[in-house]
Structure 1
Amino acid sequence: MTTPHAAAIYARISSDQTGEGLGVQRQLEDCRRLARERGWVVAEEYVDNDFSAYSGKTRPAYERMLSDVEARDRDAVIVYNFDRLTRAPIEFELFKMICAQAGLRHIASVTADIDVSTDDGMFMARVIAAVAAKESARRSERLKRKHQQLAEQGRPNGGHHRPFGYAPDRVSVVESEAQIIRELVARFLAGESMRSLATWLNEEGVAPVSGESWRTQSLRAMLMSGRIAGLREYRGQVVGEAAWPAIITPEQRRQVLARFAEKKATGRRAPRRYLLSGLLRCQRCGGRLYSNPRGDKRRYVCLNGPDHRGCGRLTITADPVEHLLAAAVRFRLDTPDLADALASRASMDERHASLVVELEADRAQLSELAGMYAARQITAEEWRTARAPITKRVEHAERQLQRASGTPAVDEWVGKGKELADRWATLPLERQALIMAAVLDHAVISPGVPGARGLDPDRVHPVWRL
């Protein structure tokens, strides 16, 4: 057998708590020494730091090494121990098959002097892989039990990174970050989108615990977590109170979850360029006006055709009607009528929360039915029969949520219409739109006079929600 001149060194460690890569570095040093002792030339080192070989997840460096072996660019493989390659016997067989097809016969381990080119060597390597798999399974069960016990006691888990808002001990609150979390929750409940909040964090230079910038997915996970409300979760479920202090109240978290569920149920999208999307009606036909720009001119138009079914005979320029109705909403925030309407809000909020709970329960039941049908526990006819009434309940709840009138978007501005006017231009468009929709149910637009210059206020007839 010829001496390898393009050997691959593969190093892997399942968990790197410090992030310094010291575990794989020690493996690499020992593998390099073995290569020197045997006179093998190392072409490349492949490292999967902080990757498990038992979980089944893709290991980028390992897959790249296999590709190089298949391409015959590598003529030997060196590992610290065979369980660094894999902890799944079937994966070890695949590795050996790829090596055999590529004609690669040199496979060396620092800790075991085994010649896998022989039957006895392969038998020993298979035993090592099987033992490693069994130990991984045992370790996995021990860790699951440990994490379950910690959860039941309300204690924190370990991990690579501390949670935002808490110190490395995962219990002490970092007050400067806690204040940011409280502001994020307040602004989200007031109508701002995840994208807007993530952008604000990045522009303000607020650094996340890991990564270079905030992303909507990580921000959403933080706001939905039970941790910031002082609740201990295990496998996505709250199991009790936590040992650390809460940053927000459980009630605030419930409101956050309800808003996420409502957005999912209604499919609402944050407005981009038009403040009054969905809020204007045509007096001629009762149809909804849609944004319909002409060149650089923003307009709301009653559209006809198969998708809109309006009369197609009414148009209004966007800027003046938006300014008029925004001013009217801000004025109404200072009126006694609005305060009286808000006095009866408690029962509406309770109904809103109840709808969200009912909707989630019905959706879970639909998923359960689908699973039963997939497992052949029920017939197609039984599935259809059971599904029909649940689907009707889901559709009804979604319609009710669309008409729900929760008012967190305007709570802080009641009686402060003049202050809101001063800050209006600085608010994100989606937050302006939430304030508008919380106060204004819709506005009916009358036909204009041909050739008229400017907007006649008498064309606009607001219908108040509150």
Structure 2
Amino acid sequence: MGNRLFALVMRDLSRALGYCRVSTQRQHTEGHGLERYIDRLKQYGLNDEQIHWDIESGASEKRKGYNRVLELVRSRQIDQIIVPCFDRFTRSALGWEVARQELQAFGVELVFLEGGSFDLETPEGLFTSRILAAMSAQVRDKNKYNATQGHRYFQEKRKIYQAIFGFIKDGDSVIPNTKQYRNTNKTHADIARECVSMFIESGELSQTIRRLTQKYGLERVGKYKFEDFPRDVSAFRRWLENPQLCGMICYYPFDSEKRLILESDHEGIISIAQHQQIIQILSTHPCGRRKYITNPLVGLCKCAQCGSTMEKRSSQINGKIYEYLKCPGAYPKPSQPKKCSVRTYFRLEVAIDVAIQALKEKAETIAEQMPVESTEVVLVEVIELQQQIIKLKQLNDPDFHSTIAIKQQKLESLIKASELNVVADASRSQVLRGIAMSEGFWKVVTREELTAIFHELVEEVLCSLVGGTQFFSVRLKI
């Protein structure tokens, strides 16, 4: 014990950081690794600020924690990366080649809690690292293959993966959960039916969850999802949509192309007609799936009372869409406390008009201070892909030619598909200068152009309520 403490004291970790990951949210919430990995990194001597983590596949190139680690490598802020084991860092042979180049270029050492590290300057170290990367990728592919075979087997046998709230597992199927719910005289299945009835009655997801939490409490029962009703709006919606409620099975629920609903032998807790009614309500509900409409003032509108960033909401009346801003502090999620009294829906259209008027009044100043040269606006994904392509080309390895071609196609698609292309070239400054130069500019400007203009020139828009009247105060950057 004394030797271990001495080693911790002598170990210089001032320019080190730790990284770990698990693949799924379930692994995280059910304690299958992440907390254990983080605890081991702390025991090694790292603090919370030095530890980065992800809940995502090791093959993903969009891991936030992982990319943050590489950013710190490039900025020469670290000399060591401590990981529990190799596959917690990456499960991609290609991803390792790209990361390896970064580590070599900036002299960063990859150290394992299990002992040892790579000397990437030697042929042996490179060979060992590539073998481990290939083995990690093989395990990933094997897991994926086994999962696919498992899906097919379950589908052929009409087996059910897991129970949702209102049910418990019974072999390869489920049955209604008849255990007592909390200290009530009702069963879990009874409460599930009550959830459904409340939603059908109100047609509102948030309102239903609030009524349920007021009646049964904010704290969930048990540690597994099937033991209590969801407190989150999106999770509650998914629960309502699940055909297990009416005695059916759904495979590939999150893949619209593969999604498959089959009859099952298990007993439902609501009728098929009730479930169809739920689906009908959700399909027409304002909070349901609908075409996304750009909010030009996204992130800029603040509540004058509590300072919260206002959220956009939409409603459709007689075919016309009305857009509003609301304070999340006054309309919190069902599981969060209320911290603001401004329970008013502010008209987004009026906020936009006030922001435009403020810019018109400053038109002369804007014209004088606006740079003539082009300022390129590039998506983060585009930058990442460009960097990856450059690094792969530098490897000069024929095995990566097909990968480079795929990434180049993806890059072209991203650039073409971007809604901000209109402001991503030299025309951007022309669009912004048009504020001061054209009387009819604001009549023809698109929402995408408005978004770019507001985020270029507007600092914030304060939303306040005085004597029942809505006021918007605009603060410009110029």
- TM-score, structure 1 length as denominator? 0.47
- TM-score, structure 2 length as denominator? 0.46
Point out which structure has higher relative CO (alpha carbons under 8 A, 6+ apart): 1
Radius of gyration: which is bigger? 1
